[in-house]
Structure 1
């Protein structure tokens, strides 16, 4: 799927857009799955809005914004499990991370037309810090994305700065790091944007008449362990390619409390 120069680009810039990872039939199956998940969540009264709160927009504007998001979508529909372990994904991950790659978690993000919420610029690292910083997002596009419908923006090379202090552990100062400071990454349905969890990224409001549906898979090296217990889930550690060299550390260290 990718060449040596693509790996060099990722290492230097902290991101890489890979075209055509998924075909039209696979994308359509996942679009249908997204719609069904939202419908089931609404019926279960678990439909949530994940629009970011904070001081980057006036309160009156924040109330208008909508962002549908659900974690661990591979628990909700098999099409996402197939996507997470897809041979094309494994082919890229094995070159960008190494031979032994694990899934950490997945997440669905849907920006509806006209008022789909922005993501202020941030790093993902504060949510699930790891010792070696191999953690990587693979943002799978289920719709064509451009500036008008809120495509992702990244700051090339920002992963080299290491972990940064965030406001409330959520986002960077919007005045110092406006979304416009990033490079827009337009993509087509079926494309995947890979970026390190230290790479500063965000996205503008969806001001178009088109939905923007993305599914994010977070991957890591099998030898990269959490530096604290932030955002650990039951599915963390699923092997995508290679093997787990640490036989005694194949599952998260959970404590189950009976209430």
Structure 2
């Protein structure tokens, strides 16, 4: 077991430094900004606006971002955590802008949103801009993934937030080109951005090709980034899977 795998296994996350070069991240940031311009703009004059601009599946906007998801350095690290068969569930763009509103990303686990049979789902958070405490960086409870599936662990469950307050979490500050990988059992969240600089990330949700979603009709790109998907068939390969009557 590598040092990277050992750290991830013990802590539930791993910050990989400099996965993407400065030139690569510069081009990717240009494409990121282009996607944001294409999205409908929120009403930022609304005092209740949370400062978040987001969309799923950046690979449906930009071929350059599809290339980023296939980046060997990115997948080489992901492979250490889930093996050589890597399937994309979906990707998500988040631009977090300055706001006085409360964060929508209170402490939570990801498993309840997209459970898989073998619990191999991880996230790879590609940092397109600097992530600091002031900009609302990721915060985690190291080792909390070992508790497995905790009940009522979504971002909207107040009792869970009392058990896992922000104050007890570890901040993961990062630079452009870094990638934070984390297990879908780890307790994590992030505060609002209180700086003038937006925080920009792309998150890829990936699972092993030997695993499968518990609900095969739940949204999933099922895009094979590396290796093989052992559970794809004629029904699940359809873009929109229709439940049988």
* Residue 79 (structure 1) aligned with residue 64 (structure 2): yes
> How far, CA to CA, are the matches of 2:28 and 2:143 in structure 1?
32
Query: Distance between the aligned counterparts of 1:21 and 1:254, measured in 2?
Result: 34
Tell me which stretches of 4 or more aligned residues in structure 1 moved more than 6 Å: none
Quote the residue 1:30 is aligned against: 28
Tell me which residue corresponds to 2:4. Answer: 6
How far is 1:178 from its partner?
A: 1.4
TM-score, with structure 2 as normaliser: 0.88
Gaps of 5+ in 2: none
- Partners of 1:67 and 1:117 within 8 A in 2: no
Equivalent residue number for residue 190 of structure 1: 177
Deviations 1:196-251 (A, max 9, x none): 11111111111112110000001100011111257413xx2222222234464773
1:65 deviates by: 2.2
Which residue among 220, 239, 243 is the counterpart of 2:228? 243
Q: Is the 8 A contact 1:222 1:237 kept in 2?
A: no
Distance 2:4 2:157 in 1: 28
> Conserved in 2, the CA contact under 8 Å of 1:66 and 1:117?
no
1:127 corresponds in structure 2 to: 113
TM-score, normalised to structure 1, is: 0.83
Q: 1:71 to 1:226 in 2, by over 3 A?
A: same
2:44 aligned with 1:40, yes or no? no
Unaligned runs of 5+ in 1: 50-59
Aligned length: 238
Q: CA RMSD in A?
A: 2.5
Give the structure 1 partner of residue 139 of structure 2: 153
Deviations 1:161-189 (A, max 9, x none): 11122367745632221122211111100
